[in-house]
């Protein structure tokens, strides 16, 4: 018990975020820390050359000492450089110096769905939730086609900016061709972390549940399954069961979109 307490304190001291005003690479002035994930700390910063706000991701120092940590950070940098999509941040620079390892990328403004649901209390209808899921799937399809899976499509990593969706944080992303020991360990623990496109569909199933539960009003304190609590159409219930791998999983994002299209108003049901 004492060992774990000391280890957590050690990490807290070493992984402290950079102070606002710190200038990196003689160019990027840190504004504030946005958050800390398993491997990195993300900041907003002013690019003094362009005058624009950018996002800067720093590999946590305790992770920089591990082979797995360095691999994940290098993998994220390479994957983001490979992708070219307006809904995914573009990498501008990556470097290593005495302060650590860093990636500079587009800063995506807007609200995460975690903020929209839990802070702003936004409620989504079934049709609205399906429309959002379809837009997200069109983005997911773009990197699946390049052999990349995100493996972390949670509500904090999907942003709505003026009605347009963006997907961020590719820190756990991998290529389908990869099969290192670290990925295998993840596969044994969590279906969302498998190095397969099904892991992204599983995560999107939970994303859809969050959207649908946003308008749910419990009638009893007794906890029930989502199938008992949510009043869903049979088609949406079937869609969720396949996304969550209760029934046979989907084989592609396009297949899921084809399932969604008949459930949307005709003006929204455009094929990709």
Residues in binding site for ATP:
57
| 3-state SS, residue 201 | helix
**78-to-33, 75, 213, 257 alpha-carbon distances in Å:** 23, 5, 36, 28
Taking phi over 0 as left and psi of -120 to 50 as alpha, with beta for the rest, 134 belongs to alpha
Closest CA to 238 of 126, 200, 246: 246
Of 169, 36, 55, the C-alpha closest to 112 is: 169
Catalytic residues: 152
What gap in Å lies between CA 108 and CA 247, rounded to an integer? 35
Which among 129, 141, 154, 142 is positioned nearest to 268, based on CA atoms? 129
Total residues found in the chain within this entry: 272
Question: CA-to-CA distance for 122 and 116, rounded, in angstroms?
Answer: 6
Whether the CB-CB separation of 91 and 77 falls below 8 Å is answered with yes
> How many CA atoms lie within 13 Å of 225's alpha carbon, on the beta-carbon side?
6
Which residue ranges are tagged as binding site? 57
Can you tell me the distance from the alpha carbon of 54 to that of 31, in angstroms, rounded to the nearest whole number? 10
């Amino acid at each position: 018990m004492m060992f774990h307490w000391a280890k957590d304190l050690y990490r807290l001291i070493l992984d402290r975020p950079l102070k606002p005003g710190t200038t990196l690479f003689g160019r990027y002035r840190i504004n504030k820390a946005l958050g800390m994930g398993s491997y990195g700390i993300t900041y907003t910063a002013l690019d003094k050359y362009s005058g624009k706000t950018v996002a800067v991701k720093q590999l946590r120092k305790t992770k920089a000492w591990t082979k797995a940590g360095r691999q994940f950070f290098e993998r994220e940098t390479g994957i983001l450089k490979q992708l070219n999509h307006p809904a995914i941040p573009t990498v501008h620079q990556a470097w290593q110096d005495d302060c650590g390892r860093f990636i500079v990328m587009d800063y995506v403004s807007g609200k995460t769905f975690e903020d929209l649901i839990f802070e702003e209390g936004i409620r989504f209808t079934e049709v609205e939730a399906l429309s959002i899921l379809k837009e997200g799937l069109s983005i997911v399809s773009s990197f699946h086609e390049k052999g990349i899976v995100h493996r972390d499509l949670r509500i904090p990593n999907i942003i709505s900016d003026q009605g347009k969706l963006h997907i961020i944080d590719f820190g756990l992303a991998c290529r389908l061709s990869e099969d290192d020991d670290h990925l295998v360990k993840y596969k044994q623990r969590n279906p969302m972390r498998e190095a397969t496109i099904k892991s992204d569909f599983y995560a999107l199933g939970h994303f859809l549940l969050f959207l649908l539960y946003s308008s749910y009003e419990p009638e009893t304190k007794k906890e029930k399954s989502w199938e008992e609590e949510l009043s869903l159409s049979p088609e949406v219930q079937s869609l969720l069961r396949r996304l969550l791998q209760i029934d046979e999983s989907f084989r592609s994002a396009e297949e899921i979109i084809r399932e969604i299209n008949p459930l949307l108003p005709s003006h929204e049901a455009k094929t990709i």
